[in-house]
Amino acid sequence: MKTFPMFLQMAGRHVVIVGGGEQAAQKTRLMLKTEAQITVISDVLEEELAALATSGRITQQRGPIRAAHFEHTALVFIATGCRGADGALHGLAKAAGATVNVVDQPALCDAITPSIVDRDPVVVAIGTEGTAPVLARQIKTRVEQMLEPDLGGLAALVGRLRAHAAQRLGPRARRDLWRWVFADTPRRTHARGAGRETARMIKQAIVTGDFGQETSASVALVGAGPGAKDLITLRGVQRLQEADIIYYDRLVDPEILELARRDAERVYVGKRPGCHSWPQEKITQTIVAAAKGGARVVRLKCGDPGIFARGQEELDALRAADIPVEIVPGVTAACGVAAASGQMLTEREHIDTLVLTTGHITEGCAVPQILHNLTAGTCVALYMAVRAAPEISAFLAARHGPHDIAVTIVAHAQTDAEIVIHCDIASLPETLVAHGITDTATLLLKLRKAGAQKSLGRHTNPEHGGLGDIAVRSRQV
């Protein structure tokens, strides 16, 4: 970010607006939403500003402008309509130590005014750092439609009741209360105009402690998706925002953690191949202990928690401890790598069987048993199989022919470092070595039905000895 979004305290503070035309009027309208003291410096005011000065809502100042006019101000807006005059006035204001916004001159702005959705005291500010004002207005329109007109009234009511709730309820109970207020019956009641009924409902809930507390799990096993943070589900985001403690894996995108509450504890429990500083037994025991201690826990796993993520062991331990647990599914790696490589996992008439399996079992790397009976019309997604690739390649090439099975290798799927490579089954081990892929890759094997083999449109890459067609993609825009 080139600019940092922040809300400034404006009550009783001084704002100076230089200019008497429409641009100055626009900034004045914006500041009139606050409790600031507004001075407009101009010898002549357009009609709207003149009326505001007459009514006493703003103060007009005439005469020569000096640096002293800008001292001890919260904000200064310069809007004379003349670029030269604006530039000179900017210098005076900066000499006085002011925070300045010069209209239509971003290079001279310390602060940029955002598009605002006003549900006082709920305020949503939308900024594009001056790059796309039209986009900001479009987002504003959508947010205006999302938020009911009197949502600010409900927020204000909650603000008045916070001290009462703090006296009677503990921290977690208060979070549950306010979640219920804003997501359930009180908000719907308030939205239809029944303010008194809403207040009575919330006050009673504070006294009785009965506010429809969720029966959802105190532990949620959440799938983070295959890579990018926007591939987590909405329910997964909701659980992150409710969590007191988050235990997360090595392959989870760190940006996903930014979706959680800022005060949630984050604990890294990642395991690298051959290096288990957090053994599974320790992870499971820690999660159980945290839940027994009353924390709302999220166990965040890459992909889907139920697919090669050792989720069953954690699930069994939580159930044995009589701890309620919820499973929040995620986009599994097979779906992520297929999308990354522009493929479908099934194809009508050609691929009618999908197998998810792993090349890493308890005893170590091995050819998955399912591959011993591989038949035409099958797509196999191989998880954690890079180390087993030589054995898998030799077995399948001998069983089906060296060129009959098309292979797609996707490393770091759905991230900025994503790599997609195509080869055949015979050249799989050499291709992995040539491209330096040793970990964090998923393999897709396709054995199409007779007559249905499709060309991958491969070309050899001379830098890697002709092994595989490689596509290195950046997701940065």
At residue 458, the pLDDT reads 40
Mean pLDDT computed over 71-88: 95
Tell me what the pLDDT averaged over the chain comes to. Answer: 90
Phi, psi of 212 (to 5 degrees): 60, 45
**pTM for this model (two decimals):** 0.65
Q: Is residue 341 part of a domain?
A: yes
Residue 403 and residue 426: Cα distance in Å, rounded? 7
Pick from 134, 78, 138, 143: nearest CA to 106 = 78
For 391-445, the pLDDT digits (tens) are 999 999 999 988 889 999 999 999 999 999 999 999 999 999 999 998 889 999 9
Is residue 125 a part of any domain in this protein? no
Query: How far, in Å, CA of 252 to CA of 235, rounded?
Result: 17
| Structural domain count of the chain | 4
- Is residue 245 domain-resident? yes
Kindly report, residue by residue over 302-355, the tens digit of the pLDDT. Answer: 999 999 999 999 999 999 999 999 999 999 999 999 999 999 999 999 999 999
- Nearest partner of 448 among 343, 339, 342, judged by Cα: 343
Under the banding of pLDDT at 50, 70 and 90, the label for residue 124 is very high
- CB under 8 Å to 211, separation ≥6 — which residues? 176, 177, 180, 181, 205
Domain boundary among 59, 90, 113: 113
- What is the per-residue pLDDT across 201-257, written as a single tens digit (0 to 9) for each? 999 999 998 886 554 457 999 999 998 999 999 889 989 988 999 999 988 988 999
Active-site hit among 86, 249, 253, 304: 249
Q: How confident is the model at residue 273 (pLDDT cuts 50, 70, 90)?
A: low
| Annotation marks residue 271 as catalytic | yes
Find the domain containing 33 and state its range.
Answer: 14-113
DSSP reduced 3-state for 248: strand
- Classify residue 391: in a domain, yes or no: yes
Q: Answer whether residue 477 shows pLDDT above 60.
A: no
455 pLDDT above the threshold of 60: no
> pLDDT digits over 85-106, tens only?
999 999 999 999 999 999 999 8
Which CATH number covers residue 284? Answer: 3.40.1010.10
If asked whether residues 423 and 350 sit together in one domain, one would say: yes
292 catalytic per annotation: no
The catalytic residue among 94, 140, 271, 449 is 271
**pLDDT tops 50 at residue 474:** no
Per residue in 344-365, pLDDT (tens digit) is 999 999 999 999 999 887 667 8
Q: Tell me, what CATH number does 405's domain have? A: 3.30.950.10
Say if CB 218 and CB 296 are below 8 A apart: yes
**Same structural domain, 35 and 158:** no
Task: Give 465's pLDDT tier (boundaries 50, 70, 90).
Answer: very low
pLDDT in tens, 151-188: 999 999 999 999 999 999 998 889 889 999 998 899 99
Same domain, 327 and 341: no
What is the predicted pLDDT for the residue at 463?
43
Domain match, 196 and 241 both? no
Same domain? 93 vs 109: yes
- In this prediction, residue 215 carries a pLDDT of 46
Residues 311 and 345 in one domain: no
Retrieve residue 33's tokens: 């939403």
What value does the mean pLDDT take over residues 270-292?
82
Same domain, 185 and 237: no
Q: Among the listed ranges 125-139, 392-406, 446-460, which one has the minimum average pLDDT value?
A: 446-460
Do 185 and 241 lie in one domain? The reply is no
Same domain for 190 and 229? no
Q: Does residue 52 belong to any structural domain of this protein?
A: yes
133 occurs within a structural domain: no
State residue 361's pLDDT score. 75
Q: Do 362 and 374 have their domain in common?
A: yes
* Distances 188 to 180, 211, 288, 375 between C-alpha atoms, Å: 11, 14, 36, 56
Contact (Cβ atoms closer than 8 angstroms) between residue 424 and residue 448: no
Q: Report yes or no on 2 lying in a domain.
A: no
